[in-house]
Structure 1
Amino acid sequence: MDDDRISKLPTNIVDHILSFLNTPKDLVRMSVLSKTWFHLTASFPDLFFDNYYFISGEGFLDYVEYTTSRFCHHNVTARRLRLVTTIEELAELDIVNRCLERVLKNGVKELMIDITNQYHPEVPNYRLPDILLSVSVLESLTIRGCELPSSLMDDVRFKSLTYLRLYKVHIDNEAIEYLTTSCPLLQTFGIVECNGFDSFCAFGHQNLRNVWIWYNTPVERIDIEAPNLSTLILIDWFGRGAPQVNLASSKSRTTVTYMGCLSVKPNDFTDLLSNFPFIEDLRLVSLRPGNSVKLLSHSLRRLMLDCDLENLELNTPNLDLFVYSSSLSDQSMLRHLTDSKASMLCYPHGYVDFLWFHKLRRFLGKKNGFKALNLYIHTSEKFNELWKLKAIELPPYELQHVELQLDALEESSAQIAFVDVVLWCCRPRSLTLISTSPSTEFEEQSDLALFTYEKLLQQEDQGHTIFKIVSPSSSMFVALPSKGKAISFIKE
C-alpha cells in the first residue's frame, strides 16, 4: 500500500496550499514532507523574500540567492516576486542584482521590490537592472526606494502592465509621461512621496482609470487625457497646495479626492473644479484652519468634505448628497448609504457646542436646497449653553425629513438636549430617531419620545396638527437596525 498520498495531490491544490506560506521557515518545513514536495517548493511560482522574518538579518540574502537559483533551474515564469530588504554593504547590491536578473530573465507577472538603505546612507540606492524593462509579461509593478533603470527612456516593453506604483522613487516629468505612453494597458498609476517631478501628464490613454499622487514637494500641474478615468486622488499632507488640474477629456464618472491644505487664494479651488466638467464625486479634506472653500459645479452630485461650515459656499444645483465629516479617511460610515436627493449628512467629531449648531443653521440658510438632514453626534456632549441659541432670533430651517443617530446605551438628558438643539435649528415634516446601540429600545411613552413629540407640536402654528408615531421600515440614508431600534414622527 502506498502511504505517500500527499505526493499525489493535484498541482493546483499544492499551489493553493503553498500560497499560504509566507516565511522561509514554513517553506523549508513543507519541502521535507516528500521528494515530490521538495521539487514542488523549488518550482513554486510565488517567491516571497522579506528580511523581517529573519531575526538578525544574517543569511537572508544567501537564502534569496539559493532559492532563486533553485527556482530558475526549472526554467519557469514566476507568478509573483516580492523582495523586501535593507542594504548594509556594497557587496549586497551585487547579490540583489544577480538574484533579480536571474528571475526576470524568465519573466514575472507581479513584482514588488522594496530595497532601502535608510540606516546606511553611505551605500547608494539600488538601481533596478535594465532587463526589467523587457519583461513583457509583467502585469503589476511596485517599486520602493530604488533608482529606475538607466535605460528607462530608451526601451520599455511593458505591454501587459496594468498596475504601477512608485514609492520614494526619483522620477521626472518626462519619465512619467513616457511610462504612461509605453504602457497601453495601464489602469492604475500611483506615485507616493516621490521627488524630481512637478507635473503629471498622461495623454491619449484609453485604459487609465485610477491615478493617485501623494506628494511632498509642490506639484504645479496635472493634465490627464484619459476618457475612462474614474478616480483621481491627491494627497498633500505637507501643505504644498492644490495643483492646477485638467481632466477635460474624461467622459466617465470621475471621483476626485483632495486631502491636504487648500491654497490661500480664495478662487483657486473654484478654478480647479472648472477643469472637471464631468466630475460627479468629490472628497475634500482641508487641513489648514480658516480655509474658505467655494465650490461651483453643475455636474457634482456627491460631495464629502471636511471644512468649517462658516467658510463654505456651495453653488452645486444638482448635488444629491453632501457628507460633512472630519473622518473622510474612514469610509466604513459611508458604505451603506442609500441613494438620496438634496440630502446632507453630518458626522462632526470632537467637541460640538452651541456655536457649531449656529453655524449649521446659517449654512442651511444659504439657499443650498437641502431637503433632508442626517445628524450623528456623540450624545455625551453637553449642550449647557442652549439658552444662547434660543436668544438668537433665527427661525428653524424648513426640511422634509431629519434623522438623528443616537449612540448612548440608554435614554438620557443628553439625548433630550440633542433633540432640543436640533429642533431649534430645523423644522422637519418628519423626524426619525435611530439608536446605534443594540440594547436601546424606543417606546412611545418614553421621556425622549414624549419630549420630541411635544417639541414638534410647538413648532406648528395650527393647533390641530398631528404627528403620527411609527416604527420606520426604511431610512433615507442608512440601513436601519433591527426592529425596535428606531422611531419616527410623521406630520399628518
Structure 2
Amino acid sequence: MDENGVENSSGFLVKRRVKRASEDRISKLPDSIIVHILSFLPTPDVVPTCLLSKRWKLMWYSVPKLYLSDNDWSPEKFFNYVDSFLEHRKKGMYFIVDSVITSFQLHMDCYHTSKATRLDKWLTFAVENKVKEIHLNLNFCDEGGYYCIPKLVVNSKDLVILELVGLTLKTCYSVRLPALKTLSLTYVYFEENDAICNFLWGCPSLEKLLLSSCDLIEIGDVLRLQSISLKFMKIEYEDCVLYTVLPIQVEAINLECLELERPIFESSNLSTCKAIRNLSLDFCGLPMKDEDPSSLEYLISNLPLLEILTLKNSHILKLEHIKISNQRLRSLNLKNRWYTKDDYEMNVIIESAPQLVSFCYEGNINFSISTESSNLLNGKFIILPQHDNYDANWFTSLMNFLLNLNCSWNIVTLHVMSDKVIILPKKFKRMCQSPLLNWKHLSVITDQKPERESDLEDVLIWISLSLETLSINGKIIF
C-alpha cells in the first residue's frame, strides 16, 4: 500500500478518475463553440455565466444574439438594465474584433408609450450594427396606443427576418428592406389604408409572409397582397369577434405554399397564383352555413401545380359532397377536428386525380370517399372519440364507415383512442357477416395500450380476411 492506504495500481486508477472528473472540458472547447452555446441563453444570464471562468470574462461581448425580456423585472429596472447593457456592448465593439450582433429579440409584457424614445434608441443601436433579425413582442399597459417602429428599422439594408407583435404600421414613410426574407406580423394595427400593401412593395426579396390576428378593418373590403418574390404565405385569426375576416386578392406569381384561415371564396381572387403546390384552408370559426361547393372545387381544379391539399373543418360549410379534380395532386388531407352533435355525412368524390397516392382523414365516422382511379392509395384515418359507450349502433356505423372507404388501398392506417373503438361485442359479431374488405396491409395505432390485444387481432382479421400484413402500435403481428 502507499501512504494513502491504497495499493499503487488501484490508487493510480482512483487518482486518474478523480482527475478526469475534475477536468473542465467545456473550457477546452474553441471560443466559437462556447459563444454559440452562450447565444442560447437570455442576455441577462450571459454575463454572470461568463464570470465562471477567467477565459470567458470577455466572451459576452462576442455573443451575436441578444434576447431581452422584462419577465420578473420592474419596468424601470428593466429599462435601466437594457440601457446599461447596450452602452457596455457598444464600448466593447471598439476593442473586441468579433463583437457583432446578428439577432435582436425583445419581449415586453409591460410596455408604456412613455418609453417609446428609449425603445427607438435600442432598435437604432441594433440596426446601426447591421443586425439581420429583429423579433419585437410588445404588450402595452396604458391607453396611449401601439408602438410604431422607427423609420430606420424599415429602411435597413441588412435585415433578413422581421417579426413584430403588438404594434402599429404606418405609411408616413417609405419602406426599403432589400434583404428581407421573412415578415411575421401578429396583433399588428394598420393605421392607414394599403399599409401592408405598401410594406410589401418595399420588400423585393420577401419569401415568407405570416399575418396573424391583425386588425384589417381600415384596409377596405378586400385584403390585397402583391409580391413577385413571395413563396409562402399564411393568414390566420385567433378571434373572429375582434378581427374582421376579409376576402383576399393575392397577386404572387411565385407563391408555392398558401395557408388561409376562414377563407371567403365569393369575392376572393387567387387567379394569378398558378405556382401554388401546397394549399391549406381552415374553415374554423366561420358560421355554420350551406355553401355551394362549386367555388371551392373550381379553386382546386384551377391550380395546375397543386400537389398537397389540406381542408380543415370543412364540415362547417355543410358540404355534403366535395368533388376533387386536379391533375397534379398527390396528397389530400381532411381534418374535421371539431365534433358537434349535428354533424352530417360528408362524401368526397375524387373525380380526376391520377397522381394521388396519399389520403388522410381526421374526424367522425359520418364520412365516405370514392374514386374511379385504380391508383393504390396510402390511407390514414384518425377517428375522433365520440362515445363513452361503444354499443351495437356504434359498431354498425363503424362498419358502414369502413365499407364507405371505396378506394384501392395500399396501406391503411387506423388511429383510434383505444381498442374499445374497434373490438366488436361477441353477440354482435355472431349476428353480422364479415365486411369483406379487400385490404392487404393494415396498421392500427391506439392512444391507450390495448387491454385485449388478441381480441383486437381477431377483429381486424375478421374485418378483412385478405390481410397480408398487420401491425398494432408498431408491433408486427404477421
Could you state the TM-score of these two structures normalised by the residue count of structure 1? 0.71
When residues 298 and 56 of structure 1 are mapped into structure 2, their CA distance, relative to the original with a 3 A threshold, is same
When residues 399 and 48 of structure 1 are mapped into structure 2, their CA distance, relative to the original with a 3 A threshold, is same
- Partner of residue 144, structure 2: 123
- Partner of residue 250, structure 1: 274
Indicate yes or no: 2:395 matched with 1:376: no
Indicate yes or no: 2:366 matched with 1:345: no
Indicate yes or no: 2:367 matched with 1:323: no
- C-alpha displacement at 1:55, in angstroms? 4.7
- C-alpha displacement at 1:129, in angstroms? 0.8
- Partner of residue 214, structure 1: 236
- Partner of residue 208, structure 2: 188
Indicate yes or no: 2:216 matched with 1:179: no
SS at match of 2:41: coil
Alignment of 1:366-445 (within 5 A): 368-372=406-410, 373-377=412-416, 378-381=418-421, 396=435, 398-405=437-444, 407=446, 408-409=449-450, 411-412=452-453, 415=456, 418-419=459-460, 423=463, 427=464, 429-436=466-473
In the alignment, is the contact (CA less than 8 A) between 2:444 and 2:471 conserved in 1? yes
When residues 274 and 219 of structure 1 are mapped into structure 2, their CA distance, relative to the original with a 3 A threshold, is farther
When residues 32 and 134 of structure 1 are mapped into structure 2, their CA distance, relative to the original with a 3 A threshold, is farther
- C-alpha displacement at 1:296, in angstroms? 2.8
SS at match of 1:130: coil
- Partner of residue 161, structure 1: 180
In the alignment, is the contact (CA less than 8 A) between 2:159 and 2:179 conserved in 1? yes
Instruction: Quote the Cα distance in structure 1 between the aligned partners of 2:437 and 2:26.
Output: 72
- 1:384-425 per-residue CA deviation (whole Å, 9 max, x = no partner) reads 668679878x984653424141544564475167437x72xx
- C-alpha displacement at 1:146, in angstroms? 1.1
Instruction: Quote the Cα distance in structure 1 between the aligned partners of 2:272 and 2:393.
Output: 40
Instruction: Quote the Cα distance in structure 2 between the aligned partners of 1:250 and 1:290.
Output: 25
- Partner of residue 95, structure 1: 118
SS at match of 1:297: strand
Indicate yes or no: 2:166 matched with 1:145: yes
In structure 1, give the amino acid aligned to 2:309. Answer: L
SS at match of 2:420: coil
- 1:454-481 per-residue CA deviation (whole Å, 9 max, x = no partner) reads xxxxxxxxxxxxxxxxxxxxxxxxxxx4
- C-alpha displacement at 1:252, in angstroms? 5.3
- Partner of residue 331, structure 2: 302
- Partner of residue 443, structure 1: none
When residues 95 and 27 of structure 1 are mapped into structure 2, their CA distance, relative to the original with a 3 A threshold, is same
- 1:50-88 per-residue CA deviation (whole Å, 9 max, x = no partner) reads 112x35455111111112222234276520000111335
When residues 401 and 385 of structure 1 are mapped into structure 2, their CA distance, relative to the original with a 3 A threshold, is same
Indicate yes or no: 2:286 matched with 1:264: no
- C-alpha displacement at 1:245, in angstroms? 5.0
- Partner of residue 64, structure 1: 82
- Partner of residue 15, structure 2: none
In the alignment, is the contact (CA less than 8 A) between 2:226 and 2:250 conserved in 1? yes
SS at match of 2:132: strand
In the alignment, is the contact (CA less than 8 A) between 2:423 and 2:456 conserved in 1? no
- Partner of residue 371, structure 2: none
Instruction: Quote the Cα distance in structure 2 between the aligned partners of 1:317 and 1:389.
Output: 37
- Partner of residue 16, structure 1: 36
How many aligned positions are there?
Answer: 410
In the alignment, is the contact (CA less than 8 A) between 2:403 and 2:435 conserved in 1? no
In structure 2, give the amino acid aligned to 1:270. Answer: E
- 1:236-285 per-residue CA deviation (whole Å, 9 max, x = no partner) reads 4xxx8667351553335224242515662332433443443432212222
Of residues 97-106 and 67-76 in structure 1, the stretch that sits farther from structure 2 once superposed is 67-76
- 1:28-49 per-residue CA deviation (whole Å, 9 max, x = no partner) reads 3415744x75544235332110
In the alignment, is the contact (CA less than 8 A) between 2:178 and 2:202 conserved in 1? yes
- C-alpha displacement at 1:369, in angstroms? 3.1
Identity %: 23
In structure 2, give the amino acid aligned to 1:251. Answer: A
Instruction: Quote the Cα distance in structure 1 between the aligned partners of 2:316 and 2:170.
Output: 42
- 1:113 pairs, out of 123, 136, 141, with 136
Instruction: Quote the Cα distance in structure 2 between the aligned partners of 1:430 and 1:234.
Output: 40
Indicate yes or no: 2:323 matched with 1:286: no
- Partner of residue 155, structure 2: 134
Instruction: Quote the Cα distance in structure 2 between the aligned partners of 1:386 and 1:278.
Output: 50
SS at match of 1:91: helix
Instruction: Quote the Cα distance in structure 1 between the aligned partners of 2:453 and 2:29.
Output: 63
SS at match of 2:163: strand
SS at match of 2:438: strand
- 1:231 pairs, out of 257, 270, 279, with 257
In the alignment, is the contact (CA less than 8 A) between 1:190 and 1:213 conserved in 2? yes
In the alignment, is the contact (CA less than 8 A) between 1:245 and 1:275 conserved in 2? no
Instruction: Quote the Cα distance in structure 1 between the aligned partners of 2:325 and 2:426.
Output: 38
- 1:157-198 per-residue CA deviation (whole Å, 9 max, x = no partner) reads 211111110010013662332333321221111011111256
Instruction: Quote the Cα distance in structure 2 between the aligned partners of 1:355 and 1:276.
Output: 42
Aligned-residue Cα RMSD (Å) equals: 3.8
In the alignment, is the contact (CA less than 8 A) between 2:360 and 2:380 conserved in 1? yes
Unaligned runs of 5+ in 2: 1-24, 337-342, 365-374
- Partner of residue 80, structure 1: 103
In structure 2, give the amino acid aligned to 1:129. Answer: P
Unaligned runs of 5+ in 1: 328-339, 437-480
In the alignment, is the contact (CA less than 8 A) between 1:246 and 1:275 conserved in 2? no
- C-alpha displacement at 1:314, in angstroms? 2.1
In the alignment, is the contact (CA less than 8 A) between 1:229 and 1:254 conserved in 2? no
Instruction: Quote the Cα distance in structure 2 between the aligned partners of 1:432 and 1:8.
Output: 53
In the alignment, is the contact (CA less than 8 A) between 1:199 and 1:222 conserved in 2? yes
